[in-house]
Structure 1
Amino acid sequence: MEQWQSVQKKYPARLLAIENPEAARLLQYLLESSGYRVVCDPAELPGADFLLVPPGGAPKRAEGLEYMLLENSGRMTESSSCPFRYHAVEYETALPVLPGAQRVSYSVHSPKADVFARNIRSGGYGVVFELESGGIVGRVALGEEREIRPALVAALAAIRCGIPFARVTDALNEIPLLSRNLG
């Protein structure tokens, strides 16, 4: 009789093409702090959960790679032939969405976006806002107001990748603490 062995299906790595470097940095921290292996070089892909690259660095239709999410300012939208599942855009823009991709949005102004910031308050301590997605609200504190948009992009991508909302807000709240401890 053969010994029983657990068989676990290895899902393909997921490609995240993020144009905003600060959003990519936040997203990498968010995913790694959630227990995922993130690489930024396609050569390091074997064994990784996520490949995080700028849009121009996305490999064209690679086997074993799920094209998860693209965030860009629209410069490559029409020329891209990669089959991304989601295309993240700022809600207020009228950017065309990649053919076959679902439009997902973020905003600092509109509650109609998939992920948005509301009740933004600045003070000597930084900036605090409420992050909302799908009716769930969490409080986030960041160092500066200019960090809100990248945080929204990272939150949107993480949520679309299945990271629980509570983990997203916890990780974003850890960022100012990490910056203070490292700087």
Structure 2
Amino acid sequence: MNRRKAIARLLLFGGAGAAIAGGAGYHYFNKKPDLGDLDQYLPLIAELAEVIIPETDTPGAKSAGVHDFIATMIRDCSSRKVQNRFLYGLEDVAAYTRTKYGKSFVHCRKEEKEAVVAHFEKKSRPWEGLMGKVSSRLFGDPFFVTLKKYTVIGYCTSMQGATKAMAYEYIPGRYKGCTPLQPGQRCWATE
């Protein structure tokens, strides 16, 4: 066999292997998800959201009911890619916490929860440049990006978040596009 045939076959098998791996990954994220599992993960979602927006002098994400909002958004308003990535992310968090700490995320101490969240935030950073755009387009947003986005939206649109964590005027008068904030003032929910 000469070199040209060997190189051609090597490229052919390498390309076929890459196509099979890409097709399997594409199928993995685009199959019909089992959304019945989402209800069993509600306590985990609530604890993850509470780590992102903890309770201080204002209510936290758990008391605002953000976990129900996140489950509704994943179930009813997200594409299959996002649903699959979110469910795989929840499974990954549960497995990582069990192997690292020997207990579920819900039963971990505050410092352990923060360490797990920091690990998954670092892990789910999107790639830079063109590869990041292609990955996001093919496979959807990473798990932690989706979790943070829905946590913030759910908290800011909840009654607890809008009235107790942000400045709220029931009848806000006229619209001002740029409102200066005073030192120590909360952001506006209505202006």
TM-score normalised to structure 1 length: 0.24
Hey, which of these two has a bigger chunk of strand by percent? Answer: 1
- Normalized per residue, which structure has more helix? 2
Q: Which has the larger radius of gyration?
A: 2
Of structures 1 and 2, the one scoring higher in RCO (CA 8 A, sep 6+) is: 2
